[in-house]
């Protein structure tokens, strides 16, 4: 069986380990027994992220353990190693009482301007979906940031915080949620040593994403919303401050939507902040603006199975204002909305667009796998497009 079709096997194994019947699991997860039966029997090869999270939480397993999500870089890793990223994040010298024991931290520190430029280049690789070069660069970048921070002190906290934050974002895509949480925590530690509260808040946004992918939805939403309330800027504040605050609201929107809670207040607040900015703002290695708010509202509506509202809201998205993989996520959301509206041909087209943006990034998207599986199951004879997409996400 291919990876997505192992969801049923993993589900049945975990259910049996916990002594639950299909009825018992359905009741605990607040899902239908019919869905669980179809997954376990292979009549469905995947399901929506909202349902997967409910099943994982009900079974007390990580989402990645249920879906079999793992890194799928294959040969697209430019000689890099995910284990090397792990080793850089978990260097012994970072442990209490063991400072100075990490040989990799020996050598001359990189001048801060050069380090900052390297951090920015790596973030550009991330937003472009160029994960191979990024995996190769990440261990050295983290080590360089620590060395420079040791030499320069507080002046280098931003570069170090952004390096750890970037590693957390990358590791989420590669299915390493626990390691992503540790990296985000390292980023928060670094940011807290500086004087820029808004950089710290930016890393909090990433931690909220990590908690969401761990299925800790209430914690994620509360973290994002509480910190946003704590740092809420005046509307005369500098644009980067508004952007950092707005991105916390974006995180709250997505988590609340997955949890089935009302997102209208978050959307309204974020939209007001974006309107105040008047256009796209780049800050703390990410962006914020009206199109980003609209795109995440689209995502929320797809999570809530409201394709009409999702497609209506999508008209407010200016695609040129979204970074490449952010646009890719938006295309996947549109594909989900069109699938729910039974526009299967259009859904296929949106998925093909997303795949073309970055094949390496695309093959890591669980939602894309679910949509492809759903469309394929609805077609009497899978179309050439859906067969290509199935291969792209390792369904064949």
Instruction: Report the distance separating Cα 374 and Cα 356, nearest Å.
Output: 20
Contact assessment for residue 166 and residue 138, using Cβ atoms and an 8 Å cutoff: yes
Residue 128 corresponds to which tokens in the numbers above? Answer: 């472009």
Q: What share of residues in the chain are helix, strand, coil (percent, to 5)? A: 70, 0, 25
For residue range 65-109, list pLDDT tens digits in order.
887 777 777 777 777 889 999 999 998 878 777 765 555 555 688
Tell me which residue has tokens 């590669």. 174
Q: What is the DSSP letter of 385?
A: H
Residue 53 corresponds to which tokens in the numbers above? Answer: 């999270």
Three-state DSSP at 327 gives helix
From residue 57, alpha-carbon distances to 11, 180, 208, 223 in Å are 12, 19, 17, 19
pLDDT of amino acid 160: 97
pLDDT of amino acid 1: 36
Contact assessment for residue 335 and residue 351, using Cβ atoms and an 8 Å cutoff: yes
- Write the CB contacts of 208 (distance below 8 Å, at least 6 apart in sequence): 220, 221, 223, 224, 248, 251, 252, 255
- Give which of 210, 190, 92, 86 is closest to 139, Cα–Cα: 86
pLDDT of amino acid 101: 57
- Do the strands 281-283 and 286-288 form a parallel or antiparallel pair, or are they unpaired? antiparallel
387 by Cβ neighbours in 10 Å (0-12 / 13-18 / 19+) ranks as: middle
- Give which of 213, 233, 295, 300 is closest to 264, Cα–Cα: 300
Q: Which residue pairs from 54-60 have beta carbons closer than 8 angstroms and sit at least 24 positions apart in sequence?
A: 54/29, 54/30, 55/11, 55/25, 55/29, 55/31, 56/215, 57/29, 57/215, 58/25, 58/28, 58/29, 59/11, 59/14, 59/15, 59/18, 59/20, 59/25, 60/18
pLDDT in tens, the chain (396 residues): 343 357 888 899 899 999 999 999 999 999 999 999 888 887 777 778 888 888 988 998 888 788 777 777 777 777 788 999 999 999 887 877 776 555 555 568 899 999 999 999 999 999 999 999 999 999 999 999 999 998 999 999 999 999 999 999 999 999 899 999 999 999 999 999 999 999 999 999 999 999 999 989 999 999 999 999 999 998 789 999 999 999 999 999 999 998 889 999 999 999 999 999 988 999 999 999 999 999 999 999 999 999 999 999 999 999 999 999 999 999 999 999 999 999 999 999 999 999 999 999 999 998 998 899 899 988 889 999 999 999 998 876
Three-state DSSP at 211 gives helix
pLDDT of amino acid 6: 73
pLDDT of amino acid 5: 55
Residue 87 corresponds to which tokens in the numbers above? Answer: 């080793």
347 by Cβ neighbours in 10 Å (0-12 / 13-18 / 19+) ranks as: buried
pTM exceeds 0.75, yes or no:
yes
Instruction: Report the distance separating Cα 294 and Cα 214, nearest Å.
Output: 25
pLDDT of amino acid 392: 92
Three-state DSSP at 282 gives strand
For residue range 97-143, list pLDDT tens digits in order.
776 555 555 568 899 999 999 999 999 999 999 999 999 999 999 99
- Write the CB contacts of 61 (distance below 8 Å, at least 6 apart in sequence): 14
Residue 4: φ, ψ to 5°: -65, -35
Residue 179 corresponds to which tokens in the numbers above? Answer: 């390691």
Instruction: Report the distance separating Cα 287 and Cα 270, nearest Å.
Output: 13
Instruction: Report the distance separating Cα 114 and Cα 256, nearest Å.
Output: 39
pLDDT of amino acid 76: 74
- Domain annotation for the chain: domains and CATH numbers: 6-67 (1.10.260.40), 72-195 (no CATH), 201-317 (1.25.40), 323-396 (no CATH)
């Amino acid at each position: 069986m291919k990876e997505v079709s192992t969801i049923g096997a993993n589900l049945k194994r975990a259910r049996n380990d916990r002594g639950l019947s299909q009825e018992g699991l359905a009741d605990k997860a607040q899902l239908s027994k019919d869905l669980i039966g179809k997954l376990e029997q292979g009549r469905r090869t995947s399901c929506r992220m909202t349902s997967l999270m409910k099943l994982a939480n009900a079974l007390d397993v990580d989402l990645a353990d249920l879906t079999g999500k793992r890194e799928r870089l294959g040969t697209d890793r430019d000689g890099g190693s995910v284990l090397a990223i792990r080793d850089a994040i978990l260097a012994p010298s970072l442990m209490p009482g063991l400072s100075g024991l990490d040989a990799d931290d020996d050598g001359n520190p990189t001048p801060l301007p050069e380090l900052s430029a390297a951090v920015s280049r790596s973030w550009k690789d991330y937003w472009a979906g160029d994960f191979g070069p990024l995996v190769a660069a990440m261990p050295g970048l983290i080590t360089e940031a620590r060395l420079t921070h040791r030499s320069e002190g507080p002046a280098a906290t931003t570069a170090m915080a952004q390096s750890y934050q970037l590693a957390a974002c990358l590791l989420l895509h590669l299915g390493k949620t626990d390691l992503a949480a540790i990296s985000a925590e390292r980023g928060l530690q670094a940011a807290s040593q500086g004087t820029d509260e808004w950089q710290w808040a930016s890393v909090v946004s990433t931690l909220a994403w990590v908690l969401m992918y761990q299925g800790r939805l209430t914690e994620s939403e509360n973290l994002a919303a509480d910190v946003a309330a704590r740092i809420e800027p005046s509307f005369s504040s500098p644009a980067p401050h508004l952007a950092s605050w707005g991105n916390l609201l974006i995180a709250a929107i997505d988590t609340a939507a997955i949890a089935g809670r009302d997102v209208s207040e978050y959307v309204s607040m974020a939209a007001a902040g974006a309107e105040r900015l008047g256009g796209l703002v780049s800050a703390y290695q990410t962006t914020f603006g009206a199109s980003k708010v609209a795109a995440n509202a689209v995502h929320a509506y797809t999570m809530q199975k409201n394709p009409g509202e999702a497609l209506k809201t999508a008209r407010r998205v200016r695609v040129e204002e979204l970074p490449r993989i952010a646009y890719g996520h938006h295309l996947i959301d549109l594909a989900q909305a069109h699938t729910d509206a039974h526009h299967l041909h259009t859904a296929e087209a949106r998925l093909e667009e997303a795949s073309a943006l970055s094949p390496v990034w695309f093959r890591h998207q669980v939602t894309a796998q679910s949509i492809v599986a759903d469309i394929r199951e609805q077609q009497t004879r899978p179309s050439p497009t859906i067969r290509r997409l199935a291969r792209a996400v390792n369904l064949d």
